[in-house]
Amino acid sequence: MKMTGAQILLEMLKIHDVKHIFGLPGETTLGLYRDWLKCNEIEHILTHDERAAAFMAEAYAKVTGRVGISEAPSPGGGHPVPGVIESFTGAVPTICFTSDVPFNNDKRNMLSGFDQNRLYSAITKESILVTKAKDIPFLVRRAFRVALSGRPGAVHVRIPMDVYVEEVEVNDIFADPCMANWPAYRPVADFSQIDCALELIASAERPVIVCGQGALVSEAGDEVIALAEYFQIPVGCTMTGKGTVSEVHPLSIRLIGARGGTSYSNRFLETADLVFFVGSNTDSAGTDGWKLPNACNPPKIIHLNIDGVDAGNNYRTDVVLLGDAKATVGYMVEKAKKAGIEGKAKISAEVGPAMAALDEFMKDSCECCECPIHPIRFVKELEKLMPEKSYVVVEPSVGSIFSAAYMVQKKQGRMFVSNYSNGALGYSIPAAVGVAVAHPDYTVFALGGDGSFHFNCGELETYARLGVNVKMIVFNNNVFGWIKGETQHVYHSDFFATNFGVVDYAGVAKAFGVKSYKLDDPEKITAILKEAIEYKGPVLIEMRVPDETELVPPIPRWIENAKKDGIPYCY
């Protein structure tokens, strides 16, 4: 069968279950677009920035279980980098296709040509160059296989413009089995190591389970809860693992670490004699710089991960389990029950009182009538009003920390979408598009900062054009708040390059055709949220909040300075 390179690529993407691709046009991609006009099975989502397209693809992958796809022309070939890095560091399978000038014409200084593979090889699992149309089937299969195998991640594919229009005979249009969805495989860890892990768990008096994003991706919640109930072990989640288990379960200690963890939850790790990490990369955010638990004097450590790169990476580890979280923990439960293994944990009775104390702590904030608006009051009122089918998309900001810590997720599963693997600004606005496109029957709440708003506000036109059911809340304090907070609470320095001018964010949204509100009275939170939720389409709510030097969020390393300076804090 004779086909153009563009036709071959589109056919290969179709059989790999690709439904949506995020990107924008350029001269080097027009050969692909010409054939795409005849391909109705794959929808192109037009964006205004290649960076936004990559963020959309990353969020789309998280909420669909399919590989997220973005595309960019040669002039913007470097723009997807922040989104690609988030996929790479966060173990989210995405493929970024970039078109290019004919191969080696960058050496002749052809406009927009550059060595894309050299750039992307440092931030992807593999950067692939296609030089012949007949190689597209093999290389596309490889791209999906690399993105999904072992520790998932980002892959880059560079296709020169002449390859799209080249006509060749092909007879290998097929997909690899199990290479469209993730997790692609579910290996169980080594049985002898599982026996060692169960022995440690059974002998621990103060064990804690910590679930990272790998546990959430694996949908290991039922198995984790079964293990926790059998041995009576408290379960905490990192921000990227939020939703692995229900936060109202009697053994849930909610979020732990430096991004969303509170003193009520983190103290379980401070006093643990065993920590079982499930699908966690034990990064600085989830462990408060490796102080929860303390890497200098750690408790017993069991680490379950899909590959051996992160397992045992940051802690002296007693047992390493290499395997899928759901399959391995499920086998552990089965083995423990059959063998009649009994534990002696004495810590579970402390969970209920600790979480009750956390809820009691929030009561005053929930009734706070001060302006700017207290973030806890807002997130708790939002929690009450959210439809059953909802997603919350956050980025580094006041909105992410307060919602992660204090918005209780009652149902198990992915509801909370964050980019705290790399943490670049400019995430929530485009990521919400990826989520909304994947699940148009859901209400998507995007919580972002005003500093981040400037990165991708052009995508508000995408909101209006697509009519996505996104409710964007801009936490406005006219400052790069995280930097200002770190400057004051850690560096104890005067501020440098943190504050910026006043912007009418609601007015900007209105100019893009998005319904907008200004929220400056806490008594109006519920009324405005109800109206926004009832409106079936995009909405932006601009809300004034204190910055991180006026009200300190639950960031453990900032709390000592807040106490010393008499600054209100939440922890």
Q: What is the pLDDT of residues 335-359, one digit of tens each?
A: 999 999 999 999 999 999 999 999 9
Q: Where are the alpha helices (DSSP H) in 172-270?
A: 191-203, 213-217, 221-231, 263-270
For domain 191-351, the CATH superfamily is TPP-binding domain (3.40.50.1220)
8 Å CB contact between 264 and 358: yes
Say which range, 166-180, 315-329, 470-484, 498-512, has the weakest mean pLDDT.
166-180
pLDDT of residue 108: 84
Q: How confident is the model at residue 1 (pLDDT cuts 50, 70, 90)?
A: confident
126 — phi, psi (to 5°)? -160, 140
* pLDDT tens column, 249-273: 999 999 999 999 999 999 999 999 9
Mean pLDDT within 48-73: 98
pTM over 0.95: yes
pLDDT of residue 104: 83
- Segment 31-37 long-range contacts (CB within 8 Å, at least 24 positions apart): 31/4, 31/5, 31/6, 31/161, 31/162, 31/164, 31/165, 32/6, 32/71, 32/99, 32/159, 32/164, 34/6, 35/4, 35/6, 35/7, 35/10, 35/164, 36/6, 36/10
Q: How confident is the model at residue 9 (pLDDT cuts 50, 70, 90)?
A: very high
* pLDDT tens column, 543-568: 999 999 999 999 999 999 999 999 99
Distances in Å between the Cα of 36 and the Cα atoms of 11, 24, 33, 67, 134 are 10, 13, 5, 19, 18
Mean pLDDT of the chain: 96
Mean pLDDT within 180-192: 93
8 Å CB contact between 363 and 415: no
Select from 296, 239, 230, 244 the least CA-distant residue to 265: 239
Mean pLDDT within 318-347: 97
Pairing of strands 167-169, 2-4: antiparallel
pLDDT of residue 154: 98
Mean pLDDT within 27-42: 96
pLDDT of residue 113: 86
Select from 197, 205, 191 the least CA-distant residue to 318: 197
8 Å CB contact between 211 and 176: no
Q: How confident is the model at residue 318 (pLDDT cuts 50, 70, 90)?
A: very high
pLDDT of residue 230: 98
pLDDT of residue 561: 95
The pLDDT of residue 105 is above 90: no
Q: Which helix (H) or strand (E) holds 16?
A: none
Q: What percent of the chain has pLDDT over 90?
A: 96
* pLDDT tens column, 432-491: 999 999 999 999 999 999 999 999 999 999 999 999 999 999 999 999 999 999 999 999
Pairing of strands 207-211, 68-72: unpaired
- Spell out the SS3 assignment of 324-362: CHHHHHHHHHHHHHHHCCCCCCCCHHHHHHHHHHHHHHH
CA–CA dist 133, 177 (Å, integer): 23
Q: Give the fold, CATH level 3, of 367-565.
A: Rossmann fold (3.40.50)
Q: What percent of the chain has pLDDT over 70?
A: 100
pLDDT of residue 184: 86
Q: Which residue intervals of the chain bear CATH 3.40.50.1220? A: 191-351
74-102 per-residue burial string, b: 16 or more CB within 10 A, e: under 16 = bbbbebbbbbbbbbbbbbbbbbbbbbbbe
How far, in whole angstroms, is CA 310 from its chain's centroid? Answer: 18
pLDDT of residue 112: 83
Give burial (CB, 10 Å; 0-12/13-18/19+) of 363. Answer: exposed
Q: How confident is the model at residue 384 (pLDDT cuts 50, 70, 90)?
A: very high
CA–CA dist 194, 176 (Å, integer): 31
Q: What is the DSSP letter of 253?
A: E
Q: Which residue intervals of the chain bear CATH 3.40.50.970? A: 2-169, 367-565
Task: Give me Rg for the CA atoms of the chain.
Answer: 24
Q: How confident is the model at residue 402 (pLDDT cuts 50, 70, 90)?
A: very high
Residue 504 CB contacts under 8 Å (≥ 6 apart), including other chains: 542
Q: Which CATH code, of 3.30.1490.110, 3.40.50.720, 1.10.10.10, 3.40.50.970, is assigned to 2-169?
A: 3.40.50.970
For the chain, give the number of residues.
571
- Spell out the SS3 assignment of 136-177: HHHHHHHHHHHHHCCCCCEEEEEEEHHHHHCEEECCCCCCCC
**Sheet of strand 390-394: strand arrangement:** 416-417, 390-394, 443-449, 470-476, 539-544, 515-519
pLDDT of residue 106: 78
Mean pLDDT within 395-401: 95
The pLDDT of residue 178 is above 80: no
Q: Where are the alpha helices (DSSP H) in 282-324?
A: 284-287
CA–CA dist 547, 553 (Å, integer): 9
Q: How confident is the model at residue 107 (pLDDT cuts 50, 70, 90)?
A: confident
The pLDDT of residue 111 is above 90: no
CA–CA dist 244, 256 (Å, integer): 13
Number of H helices, E strands in the chain: 23, 20
CA–CA dist 261, 405 (Å, integer): 6
Dihedral sign, CA of 239, 243, 249, 251? negative
Supply 298's token pair: 């750690």
Supply 295's token pair: 């890497």
* pLDDT tens column, 158-169: 999 999 999 999
8 Å CB contact between 16 and 180: yes
